[in-house]
C-alpha cells in the first residue's frame, strides 16, 4: 500500500476556498455508490502488460468499504475494462502508445472469458452488487459504458472511487463524474498506482480541483448511521 499524507498546503488551500478540509463530511448511503475500478487480473499481477502489483495491497480495504456500503444501504459497482477490437479505429491514438505486440497482448487479455478480464479472486463480490463494463479509461466518457444508467436507476448522486490505477482509470473516472455533477471522492488507501509518486500526484491534484480524498477509515466512519 502506498504511504500517503495530503500535503498541509493543499489542505490549507481547500479550507481557504471551501471553509473545510473535506467536502464529503457526511453521506446519504441510499444515494452513494462505491465504484471499484478495474481490479482485474490484467491490472493486478504479472505477467500481464498492465500489472500493478501494489493494487493487491488495497484489496482488504476495498472489501471493507464494500461491506460497509452494503450495510449502510448504499450501492457497490464493480467496473471491468474491456478492449474491443473496434477501438483499433475509434481509439487509434491509444493504439499508437503500444508496440504492435503490446496491442495484441492488451486486446487478447481483456476479452470476456479471458483470465485477464476477470476480477481479482480475493475481491468479495456479492449478489445485488452492480457490474459495469467500460471501454475507455473513464467509465463516464461518452460511449464507454452504461454506468450513468446504472447509477441513475439506483438514485446515486455521490460516488466513492477505489481501484487501479490511481492516476489512470480511477482518476479519469472520478474527474469525469465530477464534471457530470456527481459528488466525488477518491479513497487514498483504496487505490493503487505503479509508483508512490504517481499515486500522490493524482490524489493531490484531484483534491485541489475536483473532489474529496479520504482514507478507508474516514469513509467508513462517515457511512455509519447518525
| Cα–Cα distance measured from residue 180 to residue 176, given in angstroms and rounded to the nearest whole number | 6
Half-sphere exposure of 162 (CA within 13 A, CB side): 31
Residue 132 in grid coordinates:
459495469
| Cα–Cα distance measured from residue 74 to residue 155, given in angstroms and rounded to the nearest whole number | 10
Residue 188 in grid coordinates:
487514498
Q: Which residues are catalytic?
A: 38, 134, 169
Q: In what order do the strands lie in the sheet with 183-192?
A: 130-134, 75-81, 32-37, 158-164, 183-192, 212-214
At residue 171, what are phi and psi to the nearest 5 degrees?
-65, -40
CA geometry: angle 143, 146, 151, nearest 5 deg? 135
Amino acid at each position: 500500500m502506498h504511504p500517503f499524507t495530503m500535503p498541509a498546503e493543499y489542505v490549507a488551500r481547500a479550507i481557504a476556498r471551501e471553509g473545510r478540509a473535506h467536502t464529503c463530511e457526511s453521506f446519504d448511503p441510499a444515494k452513494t455508490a462505491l465504484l471499484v475500478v478495474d481490479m482485474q487480473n490484467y491490472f493486478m499481477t504479472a505477467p500481464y502488460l498492465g500489472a500493478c502489483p501494489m493494487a493487491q495491497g488495497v484489496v482488504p480495504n476495498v472489501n471493507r468499504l464494500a461491506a460497509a456500503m452494503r450495510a449502510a444501504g448504499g450501492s457497490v459497482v464493480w467496473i471491468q475494462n474491456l478492449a474491443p477490437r473496434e477501438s483499433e479505429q475509434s481509439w487509434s491514438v491509444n493504439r499508437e502508445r503500444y508496440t504492435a505486440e503490446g496491442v495484441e497482448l492488451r486486446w487478447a487479455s481483456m476479452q470476456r472469458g479471458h483470465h485477464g478480464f476477470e476480477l481479482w479472486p480475493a475481491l468479495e463480490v456479492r449478489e445485488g452488487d452492480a457490474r459495469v463494463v467500460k471501454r475507455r479509461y473513464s467509465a463516464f466518457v461518452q460511449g464507454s459504458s452504461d454506468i450513468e444508467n446504472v447509477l441513475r436507476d439506483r438514485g446515486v448522486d455521490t460516488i466513492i472511487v477505489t481501484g487501479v490505477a490511481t492516476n489512470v482509470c480511477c482518476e479519469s473516472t472520478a474527474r469525469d463524474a465530477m464534471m457530470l455533477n456527481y459528488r466525488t471522492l477518491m479513497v487514498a488507501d483504496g487505490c493503487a498506482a505503479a509508483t508512490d509518486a504517481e499515486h500522490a500526484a493524482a490524489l493531490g491534484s484531484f483534491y485541489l480541483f475536483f473532489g474529496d480524498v479520504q482514507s478507508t477509515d474516514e469513509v467508513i466512519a462517515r457511512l455509519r448511521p447518525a
